[in-house]
Amino acid sequence: MPSFPHPIASKLPHVGTTIFTVMSNLAEQHNAINLSQGFPDFDCAKALRDLVTKYINAGLNQYPPMAGVMRLRERIAEKTETLYGAKYDPEHEVTVTPGATYGIFTAIATMVRPGDEVLLFEPAYDCYAPSVEVNGGVPVYVQLKYPDYGIDWNAVQRAITPKTRMVLLNTPNNPTASVLSGEDMRMLEGILRGTDIVVVSDEVYEHIVFDGHRHQSVARFPGLAERSFVVSSFGKTYHVTGWKMGYVLAPRELTAEFRKVHQFNVFVTNGPLQHALAAYMENQDAYLSLAAFYQKKRDFFLQGVRASRFKPLPSRGTFFQNLAYDAISDEPDRDLAIRLTKERRVAAIPISVFYREPPPHKVLRFCFAKSEETLARGAEILCRI
Ligand code: PMP
Ligand code: GLN
């Protein structure tokens, strides 16, 4: 192919390949235990796979409704009401999307105009800033406080300007594994009262909260729910990250605008998978038991690294465990992550990739959505470092 004969004014000049792709490729190349990218190394339930086959064989293979299969939207609305006490109308307030990343992007594309400011918390999950920038928005950052990664609400208040259009929240949080409290939510509710600022609340790990704590969805807080797009993902909940299936909840007026963009961005989300998920969601235990399932894995991994020189930071939710390595090396985290993958055959994510400038603290993120065998092998290596 001849090369494009003009200079390209990139809309994302600073963006390269995501760290998840970089580290997973490197892990594969070096046959390393891959605790970097967040995905399970075990399969989803057979019952769920059987349902997909069933609906494909039943011939449900043409375009489903634009906003999603009604039966699935109803199950999502029921779940949200049971867990968070918030009523979303499946007809006008629930939209099924091809994953959460898409839901976040489309909510931003729907609401953010050139020059609008979007408040992000740093470290920030990697898709947030590029999604804001490619839509002409300006990310404005508030730092999470190391080592608990809590939010300084005075700093949030100070960061809000007449140009603020959106606040992007993420709880449970990737990469910090922190979770917001009810008090946090009430602080935000108070700060936003009387403004027209909207919230995108990334809650993909809503079912993975540990130690008896409750997930504080924005849906629980009327002053937030009325201005929020709540985004979730079936990928995390049912061990199917490769399916790219999720949903977005928002009040009717916001959903109407969201769907204007959605219908020309993707139009519809995979049909047979929606039918399968609708049937599978009737089994509430599958998501209600998820926290205990992952807490056991977190504790297994923590037990495994207890004798190592890595220092665990709190992991209150998600399937990530951060380990500080101050006692081991002065190296930048990216260098260490690459070296550990190549030389020790264990891969992790350097936390600095979620910052604009590398932070002073030395932390690697490890994914424990893995079999006990994988976790034991990974932990054993870490104990020798
Ligand atoms: N947000 C966060 C915080 C995540 O960790 C992930 C998982 N990759 C996503 C969004 C994306 O979810 P999905 O794969 O459904 O797009
Ligand atoms: N969310 C996953 C992680 O944080 C990866 C998703 C992706 O590769 N984009 O590791």
Q: Mean pLDDT of successive 10-residue segments in the chain (385 residues)?
A: 95 90 95 96 98 98 98 98 98 98 98 98 97 98 96 98 98 98 98 98 98 97 98 98 98 98 97 98 95 98 98 98 97 96 97 95 97 98 97
Find the 25 Cα to ligand 2 centroid distance in Å.
Answer: 13
* Ligand 1 pocket member 228 (CB < 6 A): no
Separation between Cα atoms, residue 337 and residue 357, nearest integer Å: 17
Count how many domains the chain has: 2
The preferred substitution site among 18, 20, 232 for testing ligand 2, maximizing ligand atoms within 8 Å of CB, is 20
Tell me, yes or no, whether 3 lies in a domain. Answer: no
pLDDT at 48: 98
pLDDT at 18: 87
pLDDT at 17: 87
Task: Return the residue whose CA atom lies nearest to atom 8 of ligand 1.
Answer: 38
The preferred substitution site among 37, 97, 101, 277 for testing ligand 1, maximizing ligand atoms within 8 Å of CB, is 101
Separation between Cα atoms, residue 1 and residue 208, nearest integer Å: 47
Task: Return the residue whose CA atom lies nearest to atom 7 of ligand 2.
Answer: 20
Which of the listed residues 283, 309, 342 is the one where a domain comes to its end?
283
Tell me, yes or no, whether 242 lies in a domain. Answer: yes
349 phi/psi in degrees, rounded to 5? -105, 125
pLDDT at 16: 87
Residues 300 and 270 in one domain: no
* Surface-to-core class of residue 343, CB atoms within 10 Å of its CB (0-12 exposed, 13-18 middle, 19+ buried): exposed
Find the 127 Cα to ligand 2 centroid distance in Å.
Answer: 9
Task: Return the residue whose CA atom lies nearest to atom 4 of ligand 2.
Answer: 38
Separation between Cα atoms, residue 188 and residue 53, nearest integer Å: 44
> Contact 322/363 with Cβ under 8 angstroms?
yes
CATH of the domain at 308: 3.90.1150.10
Collect all residues with Cβ–Cβ distance below 8 Å to 33 and sequence separation of at least 6: 27, 345, 346, 347, 374, 377, 378, 381
* Ligand 1 pocket member 100 (CB < 6 A): yes
- Cα–Cα–Cα angle for 375, 204, 382, nearest 5°? 20
Q: Which atom of ligand 2 is nearest to the CA of 349?
A: 10
Tell me, yes or no, whether 154 lies in a domain. Answer: yes
Residues 68 and 86 in one domain: yes
- Closest CA relative to residue 236, chosen from 290, 296, 314: 290
What radius of gyration do the chain's Cα atoms show? 21
Q: Which domain holds residue 123?
A: 63-283
CATH of the domain at 67: 3.40.640.10
Q: Which atom of ligand 2 is nearest to the CA of 204?
A: 1
Confirm whether pTM is higher than 0.85. Answer: yes
pLDDT at 123: 98
Tell me, yes or no, whether 12 lies in a domain. Answer: no
* Cα-to-chain-centroid distance, residue 184: 19
The preferred substitution site among 208, 233, 277, 294 for testing ligand 1, maximizing ligand atoms within 8 Å of CB, is 233
Residues 297 and 279 in one domain: no
- Closest CA relative to residue 278, chosen from 66, 51, 49: 51
Q: Which two tokens stand for residue 184?
A: 């946090």
Q: How many CA atoms lie within 13 A of 173 on its CB side?
A: 26
Residues 199 and 236 in one domain: yes
Find the 162 Cα to ligand 1 centroid distance in Å.
Answer: 30
The preferred substitution site among 125, 239, 322 for testing ligand 1, maximizing ligand atoms within 8 Å of CB, is 125
Residues 378 and 335 in one domain: yes
Strand partners, 281: none
Residues 295 and 257 in one domain: no
Ligand 2 lining (C-beta closer than 6 Å): 18, 20, 37-38, 174
Task: Taking the CA atoms of 179, 281, 65 and 268 in sequence, report the sign of the dihedral they define.
Answer: positive
Tell me, yes or no, whether 139 lies in a domain. Answer: yes
Residues 168 and 254 in one domain: yes
